Structure 1
Amino acid sequence: MTVILGGGITGLSAAYYALENPKLGALTLLEASNRLGGWIRSQRSPNNIIFEKGPRTIRPGTPAGENTLNLIDKLELTDAIIPIKSSHPSAMNRLIYVNKKLHALPNSLGSVFKIKSPFRRPLITALWNDFRAPKLVKEDESIYSFVERRLGKDIADYLISPMICGICAGNSKKISAKFLMESFFEAEQQHGTIVKGMIKKTRSQIEKQKSLPLKSSNNSECKTSAERSVSEKWSVWSLQNGLEELPKKLMDELSSNNRVNIELNKRCDNITFKSDGVELEINGKIKKCSRVISSLPAKTLATLVKHQHPQLANELNEIPMVTVGVINFHFSQNILPMEAFGFLVPPSEQIPILGVIFDSCMFKQGPTTVLTVMMGGDWFEQYFGQNPTKEYLLSVALENLKTILNIKDDPVEVDVSILKDCIPQYIVGHSQRCNRIHDYISSHGIPLTLCGSSYEGVGINDVILSAKNAIDNLSTPRK
């Protein structure tokens, strides 16, 4: 029997992909809480408004994005997709809040040749900075340091830092450039500048594409969702009843299969690896299995293996997590200054919000405005302490929202969530640490497979692909 720990989107995906491999035998998915889906949660308000408590959109256009859309097709959720095309205002218009004003970021080739506030130079001049900056041979460095060195401090402050806040609620002065900006980082290491490296990579990709056989054109009715996302130029997509439809559909598929046993409120407190299998302590009782697939956060897994493998636990513990406050607002009328994805706040502004998402610009819910305020992240305790009340978070969010957007009205509905330790932080040295973790498991012959947001990416596409890869890479399981 194979046990999967964690019933979030990663664990559910791992169980689904595992069904394709009959050699894995019976599957048991254990979830410590009373619900499946993890941080993906689409909640309907009393006024029938969808409040997304976690992720709300998914990007296509990458191998991981294609994999997710292939999964959507297999689950027969294709008709539920809501695509947002690249021409949509929410894809075109992205804002940052600097010096007590909202500023639109450049959104076209022509705009990078102009001076747009808060920048004091055309962004195209950053390329000249890249050519002039000397190459530094490094194993890794922070994204902020890398971008400041090669492109300039203003790019680091007003583009990269807020972007990292949006991606992982993190501090760009801590996050690994080698991991989250791998192509740019390797371009410098191999070719001396970002521009030279990216030009050579692009040429290589073009030559490779020329060597591939041409695909026959099909009618739109025959295209996969991944093919449609390319031909129709999707920017992002979601699902009609909220993104939680995806884990719900996976749960339904798994529940209907007699190879899978799903157990809620089953907390694992210890894992012991033995020569003839694995023993898990679940709610005080011992459960035996042949292999464990963990989709748990690295820090949680560390507590389960530390008595037997303290070196592994130490490495897992070095992948930190941050807490995010999520405050959803519903206003009775349109109060947005413009149609846009929303705005992000650079950490240099020193205010307690990471950004605001204009949900109702992307997905209309009647003649109303739906917004989501994201707060805290790497700075959660600095601004809110260890155990803030939801009422306090709401007051801070509403005060900042009214100030920045010049809102006079009070919201019709609000909902506050504190997502404790929800996003892993890929700090400098993350790639090397992940290599050490996987090498340790392999060299010690531990029947443990890792997947999830702690290792290869924090996005939904990333974790679903990590689940698929984890199953694909499994050798014949122990008996």
Structure 2
Amino acid sequence: MVTVLGGGVSGLAAAHYLLNRSLLPGEKISLIEATAHLGGWMKSTRRPNNVIYEQGPRTIRPKGVQGANTLKLVEELGLSNKVKPIPYGHPATMNRMIYVDKKLHKLPTSMFSLFQKKEPFDKPLVFAALKFLTSPKEICNDDTMYNFVARRFGKDIAEYAISPLICGICAGDAKEISVKFLMRKLFEAEQSQSPMLKEVILNLFAKTPMKDYESELLNKAKEEKWNVYSLEGGLELLPRTLEESLKERGVSIHLNAPCTSITFEGNGVKVKTGRSEHFSDHLISALPALKLAPLLHPQHPDLSEELYKIPFVTVGVVNLTFPKNVLREEAFGFLVPPSQKVPILGIVYDSCCFPSDCDQTVLTVMMGGRFMDDHFGGKLDDAVALQTAVKYSKEILKINDDPCDHKVSILRECIPQYVVGHDKRLQRIYKYIKDRKIPLTLVGCSYEGVGVNDAIFSSKRGIDNIKLKIV
């Protein structure tokens, strides 16, 4: 028996991979979810005129092992014909902007543009590459994204490229997030005793084995040069289809069943909810670290403390529809560097990415995150979020009309922050579990990646590492 705790996409994927490995029949897998909703933060809402609002993730990248793994899952679930790709060359891939000094600036997208000086950068970006190869090393175990980029590429790159990027990916502060979050290989190249250029070249051209992740959908993505993709009706189709598949294969799914305690007894584990007890040989936790921590504290306070130290942030997401095309330029959208002191993280131009049948403009405005206290005193409600979204959408994009439809979502403690020291913390967490032979596997976005691909891949890898007697 195996208990999967948490019904987000990582928990659903974990149950799927258990079945695929034929470790257990579906009848011996229980999936427990505290709420009435499966899929975690993946929520898609259909509005008037078939407009889709995404309250969480909206696109998935097909790149790398993680991207290939998700494409294979999509194919296994029979969703290949539901994929909506955006290829390279589309305005949403070519036009990505930042908002600096009350103006929108396009980020460089071509080799030629690297040799041109473009505001708000101090000099052509080609000089940043030269600085990277010639700057002296600073030996350390870890560093912030901001410090590393400022040191190796220049302060303006850290300020106007990396800082807004971190806001867009994890709603975080580049001055706190570990360099290993996005630039592990470059950081390791800096720390290496080998010549910098040699290490960079070796890292860039090192090939990761992809044999286990090949699929027809992956080949199609390569041939058609997909940049990102979504699914018809929204990304929530993925967890909904996983749910249907698991039920058909006999997995027992328990909704509205918040876990009240976890007790490891002998070689097994007992999970209590408000209404029932579940005994199993192994527990797969897809809960966020801050939700798992108090459940482990009675038996394993040291492990609980490590989990508690992974911080999370709250993000406000406001979907807006304007009654006509109000955008002056097609683009993916824009991000706002924290130095601009603007109370939004950025705006995504949804109707440019995936046009609807009607001549409307659909935007998603994001706010809060690590900067919630700075702009909202730590408190953000629906009314303030909507007011902020409308004000800055109209002001920055020079829109005269008012929105004709909206949806506000306050996603409480939704994104973990991989601050400096996160890597070492993970090592201590995994070592603690291994040394004490606790029948526990951790999956989900709290540990080794915050994106959809990362969450699903963590489940694949976690299940691959479980040693269970095949029944």
TM-score class normalised by the smaller sequence: over 0.9
2:183 equivalent in structure 1: 181
Q: How far did 1:333 drift?
A: 0.7
Q: Indicate yes or no: 2:281 matched with 1:290.
A: yes
Write out aligned runs for 1:72-471 (5 A): 72-190=74-192, 195-202=197-204, 205=207, 224-258=216-250, 260-283=251-274, 285-365=276-356, 366-471=358-463
Q: 1:67 to 1:204 in 2, by over 3 A?
A: closer
Q: How far did 1:198 drift?
A: 1.8
CA distance in 1, matches of 2:196, 2:252: 49
CA distance in 1, matches of 2:54, 2:195: 40
The worse-fitting range, judged by mean Cα deviation, of 178-187 and 162-171 is: 178-187
1:68 equivalent in structure 2: 70
Instruction: Tell me the SS of whatever aligns to 1:24.
Output: coil
Q: What amino acid maps onto 1:10 in structure 2?
A: S
Q: How far did 1:49 drift?
A: 1.3
The worse-fitting range, judged by mean Cα deviation, of 186-195 and 357-366 is: 186-195
Q: 1:177 to 1:194 in 2, by over 3 A?
A: farther
The worse-fitting range, judged by mean Cα deviation, of 18-27 and 248-257 is: 18-27
Q: Indicate yes or no: 2:12 matched with 1:21.
A: no
The worse-fitting range, judged by mean Cα deviation, of 73-82 and 180-189 is: 180-189
Percent of counterpart pairs with the same letter? 48
- Whether the 8 Å contact between 1:291 and 1:478 is mirrored in structure 2 is no
1:219 equivalent in structure 2: none
- Whether the 8 Å contact between 1:356 and 1:373 is mirrored in structure 2 is yes
Q: How far did 1:203 drift?
A: 5.0
Q: How far did 1:337 drift?
A: 2.1
1:217 equivalent in structure 2: none
- Whether the 8 Å contact between 1:72 and 1:78 is mirrored in structure 2 is yes
Q: 1:203 to 1:405 in 2, by over 3 A?
A: closer
Cα-to-partner distance string for 1:28-63 (whole Å, 9 max, x where unaligned): 000000111110001012443110000010001211
The worse-fitting range, judged by mean Cα deviation, of 175-184 and 246-255 is: 175-184
Q: What amino acid maps onto 1:424 in structure 2?
A: P
Q: What amino acid maps onto 2:173 in structure 1?
A: N
Q: Indicate yes or no: 2:10 matched with 1:7.
A: no
CA distance in 2, matches of 1:90, 1:181: 24
Q: What amino acid maps onto 1:308 in structure 2?
A: Q
- Whether the 8 Å contact between 1:94 and 1:342 is mirrored in structure 2 is yes
The two structures have a TM-score, normalised by structure 2, of 0.95
Q: 1:477 to 1:176 in 2, by over 3 A?
A: farther
Number of equivalenced pairs:
466
CA distance in 1, matches of 2:2, 2:458: 17
CA distance in 2, matches of 1:300, 1:184: 33
Q: How far did 1:285 drift?
A: 4.2
Q: What amino acid maps onto 2:19 in structure 1?
A: L
Q: How far did 1:195 drift?
A: 4.5
CA distance in 2, matches of 1:405, 1:343: 10
CA distance in 2, matches of 1:331, 1:374: 17
Q: How far did 1:180 drift?
A: 2.2
Q: What amino acid maps onto 1:275 in structure 2?
A: G
Q: What amino acid maps onto 1:184 in structure 2?
A: L
Q: How far did 1:443 drift?
A: 0.4
Q: What amino acid maps onto 1:69 in structure 2?
A: L
- Whether the 8 Å contact between 1:61 and 1:230 is mirrored in structure 2 is no
Give ranges in structure 2 of 5+ residues lacking alignment. none
Q: What amino acid maps onto 2:377 in structure 1?
A: G
Cα-to-partner distance string for 1:422-468 (whole Å, 9 max, x where unaligned): 00110111111111101100101100001000011011111111111
CA distance in 1, matches of 2:147, 2:40: 33
Q: What amino acid maps onto 1:14 in structure 2?
A: A
CA distance in 2, matches of 1:305, 1:223: 39
- Whether the 8 Å contact between 1:39 and 1:53 is mirrored in structure 2 is yes
Q: How far did 1:21 drift?
A: 3.2
- Whether the 8 Å contact between 1:291 and 1:477 is mirrored in structure 2 is no
Give ranges in structure 1 of 5+ residues lacking alignment. 214-221
Q: 1:336 to 1:192 in 2, by over 3 A?
A: farther
CA distance in 1, matches of 2:206, 2:86: 30
CA distance in 2, matches of 1:223, 1:378: 38
CA distance in 2, matches of 1:450, 1:140: 23
Q: How far did 1:232 drift?
A: 1.3
Q: What amino acid maps onto 2:249 in structure 1?
A: N
Q: 1:125 to 1:414 in 2, by over 3 A?
A: same
Q: What amino acid maps onto 2:240 in structure 1?
A: K
Output the aligned Cα RMSD.
1.9
Q: 1:250 to 1:438 in 2, by over 3 A?
A: same
Superposed structure 1 runs of 4+ greater than 6 Å apart:
none
CA distance in 2, matches of 1:66, 1:445: 32
Q: What amino acid maps onto 1:323 in structure 2?
A: T
CA distance in 1, matches of 2:322, 2:197: 45
Instruction: Tell me the SS of whatever aligns to 1:378.
Output: helix
- Whether the 8 Å contact between 2:381 and 2:410 is mirrored in structure 1 is no
Instruction: Tell me the SS of whatever aligns to 1:29.
Output: strand
Q: How far did 1:269 drift?
A: 1.6
